[in-house]
Amino acid sequence: MNGTWKSTRTYEGRRTVAVLAILAAALPLAAQEDARSIIREVDRRQRVDTSLTRTVMRIYPDGSNEAEYREFTIEGFERGDSESYREVLEPRSVKGLRILSIGDDAWLYFPSTGRVRKIAGTSRGESVQGIGGDFSYEDLGGGLYDEKYEFRILSTDARSWVLEGVPRKAGGVYSRLEVTVLKEGYRVSSVDFHTEKDGLLKTLTFQDYKVLDGRDTATRLVMTNRRKGSRTVVAILSAAYGVPVAEKYLNPVQFYK
């Protein structure tokens, strides 16, 4: 009788340890699944088939000095997750400058020379030639968070999640991201961009969410460069979704013609 009780207790103890071990192993996986479902919902809400936007970009070389800035008016199309075309309308000195991004590649057209420069690899971390500022070709290129980064939850509170994303493939511009997502509406509040060289390099904040053409849209984007102390502000003047996009705008051999 006593031996049977000891045997049963030993068996139950081993089974409990085994169950706890399985649960412990499953916790990181569960957290990973939660992080992925969050970022996928962010991607789903941000995704558009096509769009046409007009924006004003102000570049402040000294982020603390509101009096000195350069201003550009830019119009652009986007299609799907990773195709975009932008053209500078003002000022006159760079009017007609065009940027095409498709996947991991970008092309820049200079109207003053009639030349096209292809941007690839680590050059995607550079600011746009002829404009400058704190947005790089990589930042303007878009793409789905879930396709480019693998996420986990760093922290959470009643209002938001903070997710850490690391690149799914080597050779990217950023070594990791920290994305703050508001639980209400799955709105992105901010993104911290880290590099191996600089650590926290830039922070992008999404402000003044409004409904434009039926979609929840951050109408003011502020990119702050932590290393240079500069700041670039993009204000969306108008946005339309589901608009037709002429194929030439998204063709590397036609977009500048």
pLDDT at 31 over 60: no
% of the chain residues with pLDDT over 70:
87
Distances (CA, A) of 243 to 37, 44, 53, 144, 256: 29, 19, 10, 21, 20
* In-domain check, residue 165: yes
- Rg value, the chain, Cα: 23
- 166 band by pLDDT with thresholds 50, 70 and 90: very high
Q: Which residue has the higher pLDDT, 205 or 21?
A: 205
Q: Is the pLDDT of residue 163 over 50?
A: yes
Q: Measured between alpha carbons, how far is 88 from 85 in angstroms, rounded to an integer?
A: 10
> What's residue 20's pLDDT?
46
pLDDT of residue 29: 44
Percent of the chain predicted with pLDDT > 90: 80
Q: What is the pLDDT of residues 236-247, one digit of tens each?
A: 999 999 999 999
- Residue 60 sits in a domain whose CATH number is 2.50.20.10
For residues 164 and 150, the answer to whether their CB atoms sit within 8 Å is: no
Residue 231 lies in a domain: yes
What range defines the domain where residue 150 resides?
A: 44-75+132-240
Count of domains for the chain = 1
With cut-offs at 50, 70 and 90, classify the pLDDT of residue 143: confident
Tell me the pTM: 0.85
Output the six-digit token pair for 247: 């194929």
Q: CA 181, CA 189: separation in Å to the nearest integer?
A: 6
Spatial CA neighbour of 146 closest among 30, 29, 41: 41
The whole-angstrom separation of Cα 193 and Cα 213 is 30
Q: Is residue 15 part of a domain?
A: no
pLDDT attached to residue 33: 55
Q: Distance (Å, rounded) from C-alpha 186 to C-alpha 45?
A: 8
Residue 77 has pLDDT above 50, yes or no: yes
Q: Is residue 25 part of a domain?
A: no
Summarize the confidence of residues 200-211 as an average pLDDT: 97
- Cα–Cα distance between 190 and 223 in angstroms, integer? 10
